[in-house]
Amino acid sequence: MAIRINLKGFIEFSSDLSQVAQDIADAIKEANKTFKEVGEEGAEIERYSIDRKRLKLELRSGRVLRAHDALLRLKNQLARRLGPKRVGVRKVFIEDLEVIISEGHVGESKAKELLKGAAEAREIEGNLVLRFRDLTDRDIRERTVDRAIKLSLLREEKVEAKAEKLAPFGAVIKRGAEKPFKLSTRVASEAERLGWIKRYPARGQWIYTPPMAALLRAISELLIERVAKPLGFKEWMFPRLMPIEVFKKLSTYVEHLPEGVFYVCVPPRDPSKFDEFKREYRLRRELRTDLLKEILSEPQYVLEAIQCTPFYQFFSGEIVRLEDLPVKAYDLLGGWTWRNEAGGVEGIVRTNEFWRLEMVFLSSPEE
Amino acid sequence: MAIRINLKGFIEFSSDLSQVAQDIADAIKEANKTFKEVGEEGAEIERYSIDRKRLKLELRSGRVLRAHDALLRLKNQLARRLGPKRVGVRKVFIEDLEVIISEGHVGESKAKELLKGAAEAREIEGNLVLRFRDLTDRDIRERTVDRAIKLSLLREEKVEAKAEKLAPFGAVIKRGAEKPFKLSTRVASEAERLGWIKRYPARGQWIYTPPMAALLRAISELLIERVAKPLGFKEWMFPRLMPIEVFKKLSTYVEHLPEGVFYVCVPPRDPSKFDEFKREYRLRRELRTDLLKEILSEPQYVLEAIQCTPFYQFFSGEIVRLEDLPVKAYDLLGGWTWRNEAGGVEGIVRTNEFWRLEMVFLSSPEE
């Protein structure tokens, strides 16, 4: 019994409820029976009253059938029961929702930091009490409360992983004969000295001249012919401009590394929006990035930082037959990959703009 | 005598000028002699006076040696002459600069529109009068006045081009045997039907699956082996993220098509700037692009729209020996090119994100 929830709210209907008072009484009785089927961790409607078009409610629950979810269920049952009588549901509203966590919580100050703007957090006699106000139907469906509860709990220990069939990350599986180093200087500085590469005027970007481009092409062809193709990988070509709605699915990046990617803004199609910007340039040869920022949309894309995104997106919403698996892909034609991290890695090895061949596949769990 | 310029301003020095009054008188006399060497279109210092540290001046000029340029020249002469006497120039300032254009101007309303924020424009008895106030040394050196004058003049007719040695654009030089069309449907819809391409969830972007990627690779290899290499072009690899300072040099784009490119914003390196953004995502699974726009820098890059930019940038500030020319380049390894114009061109032929091989070269004028 680590979590208790107390809810105070109402369901608003399209007309006065006095005509259907008996139906409501019946529905609540019935709901209370099913809500308790899961036992202690279920929900209970403690109190209700009718106030013209509003059905006012107080619920309490444990962690399994949560009070706010029970409220939505009740709403659906009432909608089904009262619909034929021409009484429709207009709105669900929670004025006050209190979550009391008695064990394994993160404590008041951490909870305050994590839930800022969504809920109040207070510690009372060892319990962490979260208080939400004015929640709508949408808030419940979007699971804001549940996510807040999850963030307020200490992470449970991970379950022991099953014995690994794959080699652990970083393990050396086979070692070839030692090769002599032919170059004792740093690759990037030597390439720059030879004119094989030249800096582009921004951090972490290079122009590769013919010798370096030839070297890259040779290496990539070796990788394709000797590694990718023998392993059954086929060449695809993936976009590099990742729409924000695709980025939204990369929760690791959004939650933990939003500072690691480049964001792309789209200009309005109406050229007159640029009048002042153009005038400033024409007159003063100044390119006013402050004006640009005003003119541009909010970011609509992210530059590809991990290359495999479009491969997974390709299968989004698709059902794939097991006999069509595995699907194995690599992409070189799409070009560069970008990460906002220049300086972290030496020379041309990994810069803001870097080139790589990634092999990704989709297969059955057994494989 | 289509342009007359009247200037009122001062040069400020590091100390009182009464000690060097004779030097100033000599300098001005000398300057006036040289300023008039170009005749009517030269400049003249009409009046001057000394007010403690300031040398107040009134100049007038024609279009060749312009009054504001004459003022800078005078400043340099005085700096050389007075420097050894420990009187240094501190600042040049033009309180009022009037440009009277009597012929071939664009008219008051057009001039007002073009010069908004830089100068007043009024038409008086057929003359267009531009008035600039409070110009600094920097304004003069940045040629704001001259650019404003240029914009206020009707464009002159283009001088007849010399007889073309090259075939005019669009001319058919040689015609091969007619080839039969093997496909009567649209290429993009047929490729989509076959599963060779699939839309990425944003306008003008596609994922190319193995058959389409193989087709592209085959076509590009044909182009390289049969066209690029026989013509002496070599493979380079160019960045696709164009820094704003490079974009600034593409005046055609900045002045006429700033709405045609995608702009890239860099996030701050300090992860704490993203705290609210991350919290909103964690709690509500909402990716708040409005918060992102606030957090991000002004645009620092543009996505490559013409592909040849880095090639020209490569030679910026370099001196190339004639015997090293021509330099011929193509780039495929860098991948996509982007233009904000989806919808303008059908299917995959040219979309927001498209793939192409561009051949560029640098050679002597004779070639």
- Over the stretch A112-128, which tens digit does the pLDDT of each residue have? 988 888 899 999 999 99
Q: Which of A105, A122, A152 is the last residue of a domain?
A: A152
Does one domain contain both A21 and A133? yes
Asked if residue B127 lies in contact with residue B102, where contact means CB atoms within 8 angstroms, the answer is: yes
The reply to whether A321 falls in a domain is yes
Distance CA A334, CA A216 (A): 15
B201 shares its domain with B346: no
Exposure class string for A153-176: b at 16+ Cβ within 10 A, else e: beeeeeeeeeeeeeeeeeeeeeee
A-B Cβ pairs (cutoff 8 Å, strict): 296
pLDDT at B365: 81
Task: Go through B297-306 and write b for each residue having 16 or more CB atoms within 10 A of its CB, e for each that does not.
Answer: ebbbbbbbbe
Q: What is the pLDDT of residues B194-237, one digit of tens each?
A: 999 999 988 889 999 999 999 999 999 999 999 999 999 999 99
CATH number of the domain to which B252 belongs: 3.30.930.10
**Amino acid in position B307:** Q
Q: Assign B169 a pLDDT band (cuts: 50, 70, 90).
A: confident
Q: What is the pLDDT, as a whole number, of residue B30?
A: 93
Given a cut of 90, whether residue A96 has pLDDT beyond it is yes
Query: What pLDDT is attached to residue A169?
Result: 79
pLDDT digits over A40-79, tens only? 889 999 999 999 999 999 999 998 899 999 999 999 999 9
| Residue B356 sits in the same domain as residue B290 | no
Same domain, A111 and A242: no
In a domain, B99, yes or no: yes
Which pLDDT does position B344 carry in this prediction? 55
| pLDDT of amino acid B262 | 96
Q: Determine what percent of chain B is predicted with pLDDT higher than 90.
A: 69
In a domain, B178, yes or no: no
Question: Among A128-132, A184-188, B88-92, which stretch is predicted with the lowest mean pLDDT?
Answer: A184-188
| Beta bridge pairs of residue B57 | B9, B48
Q: Does B64 touch chain A (CB under 8 A)?
A: no
Q: What pLDDT does residue A343 have?
A: 59
Domain stops at, among A152, A177, A195: A152
Q: Which domain holds residue A353?
A: 234-265+300-362
Same domain, B276 and B249: no
* Shared-domain flag, residues B131 and B209: no
Question: Which two tokens mark A46?
Answer: 């403690």
A 185-204 near B (Cβ less than 8 A): 198, 200-202
pLDDT tens digits for A281-340?
988 888 999 999 999 999 999 999 999 999 999 999 999 988 889 999 999 999 999 998
Residue pLDDT, tens place only, A152-176: 988 755 545 555 566 777 888 888 8
Average pLDDT score over residue span B155-175 = 67
pLDDT of residue A266: 94
Query: For residue B343, is it within any domain?
Result: yes
Which pLDDT band, with edges at 50, 70 and 90, does B5 fall under? very high
Tell me whether B271 touches chain A (CB under 8 Å): yes
Contact residues on chain B for A245, CB-CB shorter than 8 A: 201-202
- CATH number for the domain spanning A57: value is 3.30.70.1920
If asked whether residues B234 and B319 sit together in one domain, one would say: yes
Residue A129 is assigned to a structural domain of this protein: yes
Give the mean pLDDT of A92-113: 93
**What pLDDT score was predicted for residue B346?**
67
The pLDDT-based confidence of B164 (bands split at 50, 70, 90) is low
CA distances from B82 to A253, B71, B75, B226 (A): 63, 16, 10, 68
pLDDT at B9 over 70: yes
State which residue of chain B sits closest to A343, comparing Cα positions.
B269
User: How many domains does the structure of chain B reveal?
Assistant: 4
pLDDT tops 60 at residue A146: yes
A336/B241 CB distance under 8 A: yes
Asked if the Cβ–Cβ distance from B277 to A258 is below 8 Å, we say yes
One domain for residues B147 and B280: no
Q: What is the mean pLDDT of residues B120-135?
A: 93
Last residue of some domain: A127, A152, A177? A152
Query: Whose CA is closest to A276, among A290, A297, A258?
Result: A290
* Inter-chain residue contact B207 with A237, CB threshold 8 Å: yes
In a domain, residue B16? The reply is yes
pLDDT of residue B183: 85
User: Which residues make beta-bridge pairs with B199?
Assistant: B206
> pLDDT tens digits, residue range B37-73?
888 889 999 999 999 999 999 999 999 899 999 999 9
> What value does the mean pLDDT of chain A take?
90
- The answer to whether position A54 is within a domain reads yes
Is position B213 within any domain?
Answer: yes
